[in-house]
């Protein structure tokens, strides 16, 4: 009997230690908050640079500025989604008060987070391609090889997102309840 009790105590302590190890992830999420602040600084610096040079900006430059700012906001959204959803999924629930809590918080599981990440990455890739097309429209020379590789990469990202979505859909359909745990 004492050996069985010792085994149970050991199992509980190991389980508890592994469960508490989730807090090791917290510094990673705080690091993403720092990256978000750095991105904000770059965003504001670029915006200020264009505002100060407004007299020299043509229509194409204005569109490129807008695309660049959209690109940075998508990356910022990506950082925010990973930070908040990751923290809630892997560390602990964020207690921010219900009135300040976005509707999606607490509902984004790992599969949904992957889908949102891929959607943002594809949008960023599409914006990069759009910038290249605008340069072509302005008559600037773009290396055909660069355009080809960017198009291939964008296509692969789209294909990857499609495969991830199919896998997620199939896993939701075939998900079975977990078997009962051993005592």
Quick one: which H or E segment has residue 90?
A: helix 59-90
Question: Is residue 56 included in any domain, yes or no?
Answer: yes
Question: Is residue 8 included in any domain, yes or no?
Answer: no
Question: Is residue 116 included in any domain, yes or no?
Answer: yes
How many folded domains does the chain comprise?
1
Question: Is residue 21 included in any domain, yes or no?
Answer: no
pTM: 0.67
The per-residue pLDDT string of the chain (183 residues; one tens digit each, 9 = 90 and over) reads 688 888 888 888 888 888 888 888 889 999 999 999 999 999 999 999 988 988 888 887 788 888 888 888 988 988 888 888 888 877 887 776 666 666 666 666 677 777 778 888 888 888 888 888 887 777 777 788 888 998 999 999 999 989 888 888 888 777 655 555 555
Question: Is residue 144 included in any domain, yes or no?
Answer: yes
Question: Is residue 10 included in any domain, yes or no?
Answer: no
- The DSSP call for residue 92 is -
Range of the structural domain that residue 135 is part of:
26-94+101-173
Question: Is residue 43 included in any domain, yes or no?
Answer: yes
Question: Is residue 132 included in any domain, yes or no?
Answer: yes
């Amino acid at each position: 009997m004492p050996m069985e009790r010792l085994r149970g105590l050991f199992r509980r302590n190991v389980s508890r230690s592994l469960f508490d190890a989730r807090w090791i992830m917290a510094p990673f999420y705080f690091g993403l908050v720092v990256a978000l602040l750095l991105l904000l600084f770059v965003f504001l610096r670029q915006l200020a640079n264009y505002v100060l040079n407004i007299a020299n900006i043509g229509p194409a430059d204005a569109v490129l500025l807008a695309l660049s700012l959209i690109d940075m906001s998508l990356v910022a959204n990506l950082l925010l989604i990973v930070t908040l959803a990751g923290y809630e999924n892997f560390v602990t629930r964020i207690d921010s008060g219900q009135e300040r809590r976005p509707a999606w918080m607490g509902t984004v599981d790992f599969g949904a987070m992957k889908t949102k990440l891929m959607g943002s990455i594809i949008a960023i890739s599409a914006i990069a391609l759009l910038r290249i097309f605008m340069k072509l429209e302005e008559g600037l020379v773009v290396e055909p090889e660069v355009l080809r590789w960017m198009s291939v990469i964008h296509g692969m990202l789209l294909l990857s997102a499609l495969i991830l979505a199919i896998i997620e859909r199939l896993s939701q359909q075939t998900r079975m309840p977990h078997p009962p745990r051993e005592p």
